[in-house]
A and B are shown apart, each in its own frame.
Chain A
Amino acid sequence: MLRFLTELGRYFILLKKVFSIPEKPVVYYKQTMHELVYLGLNSIGIITVISFFMGAVITLQTAYNTENPIYPTYLIGLGCRDSIILEFSSTVAALILAGKVGSNIASEIGTMRVTEQIDALEIMGVNSASYLILPKIIATLLFNPVLTLLSICVGIFGGWIAGTMAGVITSEDFIYGIQYAFIPYYITYSLIKTLFFAFIITSVSAFQGYFVEGGSLEVGRASTKAVVFSSVLILLFNVILTQLLLS
């Protein structure tokens, strides 16, 4: 318990350092643009592929579980839409990004720590925590909602393709289903969750990397811890946010 509280304290002290006034805003702006490409644009591929197949599977599973003729077939489209918006494009995509982006951040910062690059920044008088972590947080907060919206679109498209190609639903019914009883607030809910998850992935992974001690083995461990802790926190906050935003 004491160790947990110590780590929690270190995490918040690090965040305080991260959110201090930047030395040179222009340099931070350039760094943020770089991170937008590195952490954001480079994630489009994996999010697109995963979302497409996620949507396809959701549609097929919904179809096979609602074979009863009492249920109108457009419910398959509705189920696909709501599952993707409410859960898959925010939470599952966040878990995927925790694996990709989280391990990337932890290993990058961890390697900088063990090769004394962070010490070099400190010696120069640069706030290393802010310089290394703040641009990553801003970049993911800005770009992850875009990834979520992309995931929603691609997921529904994947569902439509799979549903119509497998012959479980007609194109007209699917399109009617995804328009039926649409609640725009679900998108807001999904984007709010995405913002929280983006912050968790970046800050927790950066924390794991920033305090690495040792060598390459410890960097690997930090990277694993970053993914595990980010994932657990994402699932925990998913429950809390769902209760707060949908109840």
Chain B
Amino acid sequence: MITIKNLNKSFNSKQVLSNISVDFEPGKTNLIIGRSGSGKTVLLKSIVGLHEIESGEIWYDDVLFNKLDFNEKKEIRKEIGMLFQGSALFDSLTVDQNVRFPLDMFTDKTEEEKKDRVNFCLQRVNIINANNLFPSELSGGMKKRVAIARAISLNPKYLFCDEPNSGLDPITAILIDELIKELTEEYNMTTIVNTHDMNSVMQIGEKIVFISEGLKCWEGNKDEILDSDCTTLNDFVFANALAKQLKESL
């Protein structure tokens, strides 16, 4: 469980997040949605500690994360997996070495155990016979899947995904969404996904938080989102022609 209380964040006196409070539940795919520039990525990066917050509290279960020092945060971070928008695979390492990296860094496993774990993680995300390829040789969808494999290699308790299906075709995007949902349930992780893709929202949104101009405007699930009376949310949800038609038919 990750709990955010009264989180505030600004850059050079510009308030980016105001008084955000929300609970992210374990075993569920928690979605943060909103328009581009609404503060989703800043919120996600604040939660994982890449941005220092002005005020508020970030709880990882019963640990107040934002008050920990660098070394204490490192211990929590070993339980975090993160999928970045651009995958953030290490260019100079092969697929195998990318997935193996956290194991080399933080475990005392034998070479054989590491090899088994790497192969298991890659098979889990349906990457086969690509161990020796470099990130530059992979398609966008494969990069995302390798990044997921790397993120789960240490069995994390918390999984963060920043726009996991940006730049992907709709079918691959659905596959990535489904994979995230399956892994979340399988490992009972607390998963937080940043997205502005309504397909993802309707596919995997078990808990949804809508952010607009740095404020939390709405909270609910995918069944409630279509009936919301929040105007900004409705403008966002029914922005495209297909969604508008759907709304009229409801």
Contact = CB atoms under 8 A, between A and B. Distances in A.
Interface of A: 23-24, 26-27, 111-112, 115-117, 119-120, 122-127
Interface string B17-51: 00000000000000000000000000001001110
A208 to B, nearest CB: 19
B169 interface: no
Interface stretch (B98-106, B206-214, B240-248): B98-106
Given A23-B105, A27-B104, A116-B85, A125 B50 contact: no
Nearest to A122: B50
Interface in B55-112: 73-78, 80, 82, 84-86, 88-91, 101-102, 104-106
Given A112-B90, A124-B78, 8 more contacts: A26-B104, A115-B88, A116-B84, A117-B88, A117-B90, A119-B84, A124-B80, A125-B74
Contacts of A117: 88-91
Nearest to B150: A120
Interface of B: 45, 48-50, 73-78, 80, 82, 84-86, 88-91, 101-102, 104-106, 160
21 contacts: A23-B106, A27-B104, A27-B105, A111-B91, A116-B86, A116-B88, A117-B89, A119-B45, A120-B82, A120-B88, A122-B50, A123-B50, A124-B78, A124-B101, A124-B102, A124-B106, A125-B73, A125-B75, A125-B78, A125-B80, A125-B106
Which of B45, B88, B101, B104 has its CB near the most chain A CB atoms (within 10 A)? Answer: B88
A124 B50 contact: no
A126 B77 CA distance: 9
B245 to A, nearest CB: 37
Top 5 closest pairs, chain A to chain B, by CB? A125-B77, A125-B74, A120-B88, A116-B88, A116-B84
A126 B106 CA distance: 9
Contact of A123 (B80, B101, B104, B105): B80
A116 B88 CA distance: 5
Contacts of A112: 90-91
B69 to A, nearest CB: 13
Given A125-B74, A125-B77, A120 B105 contact: no
Contacts of A115: 86, 88, 91
Given A117-B90, A117-B91, A119-B50, A124 B84 contact: no
A91 to B, nearest CB: 31
B99 to A, nearest CB: 12
Contacts of A122: 49-50, 77
B88 A126 contact: no
A27 B77 CA distance: 19
A119 B50 CA distance: 7
A27 B82 CA distance: 22
Contacts of A124: 77-78, 80, 101-102, 105-106
A119 to B, nearest CB: 6
A37 to B, nearest CB: 12
Nearest to A131: B105
Given A117-B90, A117-B91, A123 B82 contact: yes
A122 B80 CA distance: 11
Contacts of B77: 122-125
B144 to A, nearest CB: 13
Contacts of B74: 125, 127
B88 A119 contact: yes
Contacts of B48: 123
Contacts of A123: 48, 50, 77, 80, 82, 160
A26 to B, nearest CB: 8
B94 to A, nearest CB: 13
Nearest to B108: A24
